[in-house]
Amino acid sequence: MKTRVLMVCLGNICRSPLAEGILKSKVDPNTIIVDSAGTAGYHIGNPPDTRSIAVAKKYGIDISDQVCRKFSPKDFDTYDIIYAMDKDNYQNIIQLSTKSEHTNKVRLLLSEIDGNEQEVPDPYYGGTDGFEQIFQMIDTACDHIVNRI
């Protein structure tokens, strides 16, 4: 049986494209399907932020062909697990849910590490250091996801 995982942030150009690329790099694509989306529509159709592309490339992961899309309520049916990068994204997703079966699919990504409600901070207005830091956070969380699924 396939497990479908959706990574969600605000813009779908910085954090969730990295999360998609990192998790994809660790799993069998025949077993685990990974996609990403944003709760806002500012960048629909765009590739990931150049700083996310660069940090992924540094670790041998190519995310340059990803295309930004907006989260849709239909995603609740398509995906088994929906990971939010931060609490605002979590709330934005939950607000679109109409049933507990859907709400229960949504988790904070970093809670996979130790159960705590940590957030992947928004790196958009910061420097490249922030992208290195979020890469490491997301990478650790994805290791835990792989062990769990």
Contacts of 74 (CB under 8 A, 6+ apart): none
Please list every residue from 94 through 123 that binds ligand 4NP, using CB under 6 A.
Answer: 122
Choice from 5, 6, 7, 10 touching ligand 4NP (CB under 6 A): 10
Q: What is the rounded distance in angstroms from the CA atom of residue 57 to the CA atom of residue 42?
A: 24
Concatenate the DSSP letters of all residues of 7-20 into one string: EEESSSSSHHHHHH
Residue among 14, 15, 49, 86 flagged as catalytic: 15
SS3 97: coil
For ligand 4NP, which is the closer residue by CB, 120 or 145?
120
Q: Does 141 bind ligand 4NP (CB under 6 A)?
A: no
Confirm whether 14 is a catalytic residue: no
Which residues contribute to the site for ligand 4NP (CB under 6 A)? 9-15, 38, 42, 122, 124
